Amino acid sequence: NAGVMQNPRHLVRRRGQEARLRCSPMKGHSHVYWYRQLPEEGLKFMVYLQKENIIDESGMPKERFSAEFPKEGPSILRIQQVVRGDSAAYFCASSPEGGSPEQFFGPGTRLTVL
């Protein structure tokens, strides 16, 4: 009965490199969400996906950030040409079909940009 899994747990990138963050939702969950937490702040919504579809990307920066949730495999949050301001904890959450409001979070990926 595994929960939401994220990898890597820690990721260090130099400015200008690409960062790929992976998320496997809980078994039976078809909704995936990505949130970002900057130091001393709460979590901020980035994007909401279902299998092969982006439902809401209103929290995604317009450039360099993209997300996908393919038919097979984990959801990927991709950050191109990272900058120091991208350093944060990135959390993935999942929820089942049915409209229940609870979202279940993974342990997060801590991205550090040097």
User: Applying CB under 8 A, which residues contact other proteins?
Assistant: 4, 6, 31, 33, 35, 40-45, 48, 55-56, 58-59, 91, 93, 95, 101-108, 110
Instruction: Report in angstroms how near the CB of residue 95 gets to other proteins at its nearest.
Output: 7
Instruction: Report in angstroms how near the CB of residue 31 gets to other proteins at its nearest.
Output: 7
Nearer to other proteins, 37 or 66 (CB): 37
Nearer to other proteins, 40 or 72 (CB): 40
The CB density around residue 75, as the number of other CB atoms within 10 Å, is: 22
Instruction: Report in angstroms how near the CB of residue 90 gets to other proteins at its nearest.
Output: 10
Question: Are 8 and 109 in contact, with CB atoms under 8 Å apart?
Answer: yes
Q: How far is residue 45's CA from residue 61's CA, in Å, rounded to a whole number?
A: 11
Contacts of 105 (CB under 8 A, 6+ apart): 4, 35, 91, 92, 93
